[in-house]
Amino acid sequence: MDVLDVARWQFAITTVYHFLMVPLTIGLSIVVAVMQTAWVRTGKAHYLAMTKFWGKLMLVNFAMGVVTGIVQEFQFGMTWSAYSRFVGDVFGAPLAMEGIVAFMVESTFLGLWIFGWSRLPKRVHLACLWAASLASTASAYFILSANSWMQHPVGIQLVDGKPQLTSIWALLTNNTAIAAFTHTVSGGFAVAGTFLVGISAWHLWKKHKLSAVDDADRKVWSASLKLGAWIGMVAFAAVALTGDTQGKLMFQQQPMKMAAAEALCHTEAPASFSIFAYGDVSRPDCENVKSITVPALLSFLAHNDFSTEVKGVQDLIPLYEQKYGHNYPVDPSLGALSGQPIDYVPDLPVTYWGFRFMIGFGGIAAGAALLALWLTRRGRIPRTKWFPRLALLSIATPFLANSFGWIFTEMGRQPFVVVPNPTGVDGVFMYTAQAVSPGVSAGQVLTSLIALTAVYGVLAVVEVFLLVRYAKAGVAGVMPPADEKKSDDDVLAFAY
């Protein structure tokens, strides 16, 4: 059992788990702020009910995101201290900005929003939620700026074998960071939109089935359903556009990742986009692999034309070996890899299928949003049994799309943890095998892996239980009991 493999598994499990919460927090926090803005501007009670219901679910998800996110930074010292020493002079700035500027603002104003319902003026209370939601988005930007530097190092100089930050502006305006941020935020809104559609469709169907749908509930769930569907459709369009930008940057900055995404073993001009492959895609020579392709589409995704040459894995390997070396350095900290040949090819099945699962699950979620818009056209309310079931199942699809996207992004850069910038400072790169903490045994990391996985498993049960419980409770769980004698003013008085 190798310490590097165990450490990578630990970071993968904790990171993917944490990232399940992040998109929903980013998207839903802004959506809830829009709902509360509509209530403050119009005074309509159903907007207040929407704010309180979806706000409660947002808070459950936010709390779990905080708990699981704290572990991420501890891992840099626990199992990746060599990496931390290498990138510390660069990472320190964006991570400090995320912690002090973004996270503290987010937590402070979210606390004011939670406890300020009957204590703060309406507009001040609304401003607190907007501050918290925008700080959440800013937090994502700082984290993605740090991550994107690992994918495309900029704004640095090499001093005594370590990168030192020379321009925080270059780091924050890194084109890789901007593309990753817009793509991630779009994915967050896609998650939020599908979340609204699924739960709202179930409530509308349930109320209709029980013949208990009153006008107030109908307004809440039909408005939430339509809002979620529109958010989902716009978000998925934005995901496609920003993903196209990322593909073009990938072609320039990480050609091996581009080739791995397509299991493209041999250079093609024009290059076809593989829809589905069968055979052993794990072999970098692509023997016995057949693909269903769209001619010249990969060339367009790479360079906006239908004739660009896209290099394959077999042709990229000698280029990487010539520029970065054939063998790992002779270093005891590298363990069994010390002095061994470097495999520059990422895990092809993971990158190839991860890329397709990302697109496929995203497409399913977009289809569900489009179907919801069609079924609710001209004020209609879906009555069929199959639609709420489909809508509930579709909630998982954008979460899966986001997760597979990140798995592809991180696995596709291997064997590097800091990827060399083709047009940047020479020597600024780091192999993943060099990043593990020296002196840490596989048994120690395995112990923490088992412990964290068990704790995260318990937290997953807790979060799902709370989300399901509060989602089932519906409007009645956040608003006063329905009373025909109560006016809208009486209902608003419940909030203030």
Q: What is the pLDDT of residues 390-438, one digit of tens each?
A: 889 999 999 999 999 999 999 999 999 999 998 888 889 999 999 998 8
Pairwise CA distance, residues 8 & 3, whole Å: 9
- Position 395: which residue type? I
Q: Give pLDDT tens digits for 117-139.
A: 989 999 999 999 999 999 999 99
3-class SS of residue 244:
helix
Q: Give pLDDT tens digits for 178-217.
A: 999 999 999 999 999 999 999 998 888 876 654 555 566 7
Q: Is it the case that residue 329 has pLDDT exceeding 90?
A: no
Q: Is it the case that residue 484 has pLDDT exceeding 60?
A: no
Q: What are phi and psi of 119, to 5 degrees?
A: -120, -25
More confident residue, 476 or 423: 423
Cβ atoms of 394 and 364 within 8 Å: the answer is yes
DSSP string, 148-205: HHHHS--SEEEETTEEEES-HHHHHT-HHHHHHHHHHHHHHHHHHHHHHHHHHHHHHH
Pairwise CA distance, residues 284 & 312, whole Å: 9
pLDDT at 36: 96
Q: How confident is the model at residue 439 (pLDDT cuts 50, 70, 90)?
A: confident
Q: Which of 12-26, 35-49, 153-167, 209-223 has the lowest mean pLDDT?
A: 209-223
Q: Which of 81-85, 285-289, 315-319, 405-409 has the lowest mean pLDDT?
A: 285-289
Q: Which residues make beta-bridge pairs with 291? A: 277
Q: Is it the case that residue 487 has pLDDT exceeding 60?
A: no
Determine if residue 161 is left, alpha or beta; phi over 0 gives left, psi from -120 to 50 gives alpha, anything else beta.
left
The whole-chain average pLDDT of the chain stands at 87
Q: Is it the case that residue 348 has pLDDT exceeding 70?
A: yes
User: Residue 124: exposed, middle, or buried by beta-carbon count in 10 A (0-12, 13-18, 19+)?
Assistant: exposed
pLDDT at 186: 95
Cβ atoms of 29 and 105 within 8 Å: the answer is no
pLDDT at 490: 45
Q: Which residues make beta-bridge pairs with 54? A: none
